[in-house]
């Protein structure tokens, strides 16, 4: 154990002596969390929708069919109480809800009010979805008015859940957390180990009394500690600078973040075992980590609007699951039990990546 601690201390010294690496590890998260906040607005499709009605008459059924027939929306649930809607939102089963008033009948009232409820953890998507739904309802109402079936006066009210102020920080903070932790844990770990191979010092470390895998693990420990430091910095900046509250349980959020850090470190160690030079490690990290994380994790582009093939590929990106968990725990404030599927996927990824790393490393030793 003393030898292992000595290796960990050596790696810390190496990081602290390299000012450029230290600037990337400490400075980059602070700059990104403050400046990286403008999401790209994209067209949305297949929005998971619920309809709240007390009774289904002919006019209501017509409006529901028009919404479901549109390519932008898929009516998944028809419920009869606000409590059912709340459960669907908290379980992340729907992204938008449309609430019809009781006894919806245009012949009896001069005006009718329909409420559109959107999940505003991503404010840009919430506005887009609400606008699309409003347009569809007004078009359908005009058709009924022309047919003489409905009074033409119709009011549509939008309601945005979780982020009524429409702050973009609510959207980009979970994404930046996943991006930063992935890059620091995986990319920097893979480069650090490959650097030892290039300089020829890895062989010297492997012949030491410490088990070879512990040598590799000792180089990952400092990056784990730095990732925890960056996680703390991001959360403090989010709460006290960007006014993004931690709506859920802080302990659950930290526990899931540590699991994601473990998965990222395992991925970095695997890349280090597969490459021999720093340039190769950078290229593999960029192709396997950076670009897919930005494009396929849901940070910028909604996964539900992607083609089925890309949606399947996104399931292989650890950040996709972590960003989804953070949005639910931190922004929506749901309990940990509501994200057990995402946590299970990250845990399985960590086990598989660790097993592959150990096997690949042992093969190289042989």
We report the CATH number of the domain holding residue 127 as: 3.40.1710.10
Given a contact cutoff of 8 angstroms between Cβ atoms, the answer to whether 303 and 320 are in contact is yes
Query: In the listed set 116, 142, 161, which residue is the last one of a domain according to the structure?
Result: 161
- Joined tokens for residue 316: 């292989």
Q: For the chain, how are helix, strand and coil distributed in percent, rounded to 5?
A: 65, 10, 25
State whether 196 and 300 are in the same domain. yes
State whether 174 and 266 are in the same domain. yes
The Cα–Cα gap between 70 and 313 comes to 26
Count other C-beta atoms under 10 Å from residue 283's C-beta: 12
Domain of 23, in residue numbers = 2-39+168-365
The Cα–Cα gap between 166 and 156 comes to 19
State whether 256 and 322 are in the same domain. yes
Q: Give the H or E element holding residue 207.
A: none
Would you say the pTM of this structure is higher than 0.85? no
Give 248's DSSP letter.
S
Among 49, 169, 122, which Cα is nearest to 297's?
A: 122
State whether 35 and 180 are in the same domain. yes
- Tokens 């960007």 belong to 242
Query: In the listed set 161, 192, 227, which residue is the last one of a domain according to the structure?
Result: 161
State whether 114 and 192 are in the same domain. no
User: How far does Cα 173 stand from its chain's mean position?
Assistant: 9
The Cα–Cα gap between 360 and 366 comes to 10
State whether 232 and 156 are in the same domain. no
| Structural domain count, the chain | 2
DSSP string of 281-341, one letter each residue: HHHHHIIIIIHHHHHHSSSSS-GGGS-HHHHHHHTT-HHHHHHHHHIIIIII---GGGGHH
Cα dihedral 65, 68, 72, 73 sign: positive
The Cα–Cα gap between 190 and 284 comes to 10
State whether 212 and 137 are in the same domain. no
State whether 129 and 264 are in the same domain. no
State whether 107 and 198 are in the same domain. no
State whether 203 and 352 are in the same domain. yes
Q: Give me the tens of pLDDT residue by residue for the chain, a chain 366 residues long.
A: 766 677 677 667 666 666 666 665 666 666 555 545 433 434 567 888 999 988 777 777 888 888 888 878 889 999 988 888 888 888 888 889 998 877 665 544 455 678 888 888 777 778 888 888 888 888 877 777 666 554 445 556 666 677 665 666 677 778 788 888 887 777 777 777 777 777 766 666 666 666 666 777 777 788 888 888 888 888 888 888 877 888 888 889 999 999 999 998 888 888 887 877 777 777 777 666 777 777 777 777 777 777 788 788 888 888 889 988 988 888 888 888 888 999 999 999 999 988 888 777 655 544
State whether 213 and 256 are in the same domain. yes
Q: In the Cβ-directed half-sphere of 72, how many Cα atoms lie within 13 Å?
A: 18
State whether 259 and 295 are in the same domain. yes
Among 105, 33, 118, which Cα is nearest to 73's?
A: 118
Cα angle for residues 86, 91, 96 (degrees, 5° grid): 60
Query: In the listed set 96, 127, 161, which residue is the last one of a domain according to the structure?
Result: 161
């Amino acid at each position: 154990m003393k030898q292992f601690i000595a290796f960990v201390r050596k790696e810390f010294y190496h990081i602290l002596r390299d000012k450029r690496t230290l600037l990337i590890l400490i400075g980059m998260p602070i700059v990104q969390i403050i400046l990286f906040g403008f999401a790209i607005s994209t067209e949305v499709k297949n929005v998971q929708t619920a309809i709240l009605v007390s009774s289904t008459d002919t006019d209501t059924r017509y409006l529901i069919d028009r919404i479901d027939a549109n390519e932008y929306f898929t009516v998944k649930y028809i419920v009869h109480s606000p409590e059912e809607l709340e459960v669907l939102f908290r379980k992340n089963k729907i992204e938008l809800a449309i609430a019809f008033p009781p006894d919806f009948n245009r012949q009896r009232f001069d005006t009718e009010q329909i409420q559109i409820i959107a999940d505003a953890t991503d404010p840009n998507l919430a506005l887009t979805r609400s606008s699309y739904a409003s347009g569809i309802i007004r078009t359908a109402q005009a058709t009924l008015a022309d047919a003489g079936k409905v009074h033409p006066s119709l009011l549509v009210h939008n309601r945005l859940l979780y982020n009524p102020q429409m702050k973009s920080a609510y959207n980009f903070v979970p994404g930046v957390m996943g991006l930063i932790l992935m890059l620091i844990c995986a990319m920097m770990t893979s480069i650090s180990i490959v650097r030892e191979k290039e300089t020829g010092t890895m062989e010297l470390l492997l012949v030491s009394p410490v088990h070879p895998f512990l040598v590799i693990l000792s180089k990952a420990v400092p990056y784990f500690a730095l990732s925890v430091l960056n996680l703390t910095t991001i959360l403090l900046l989010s709460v006290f600078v960007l006014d993004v509250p931690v709506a859920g349980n802080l302990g659950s959020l930290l526990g899931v973040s540590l699991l994601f850090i473990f998965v990222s470190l395992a991925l970095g160690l695997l890349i280090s075992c597969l490459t021999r030079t720093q340039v190769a490690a950078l290229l593999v990290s960029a192709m396997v980590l950076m670009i897919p994380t930005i494009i396929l994790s849901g940070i910028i582009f909604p996964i539900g609007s992607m083609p089925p093939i890309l949606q399947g590929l996104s399931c292989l990106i650890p950040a996709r699951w972590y960003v989804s968990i953070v949005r639910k725990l931190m922004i929506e404030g749901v309990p940990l039990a509501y994200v057990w599927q995402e946590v299970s996927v990250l845990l399985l990824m960590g086990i598989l990546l660790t097993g592959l790393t150990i096997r690949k490393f042992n093969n190289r030793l042989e």
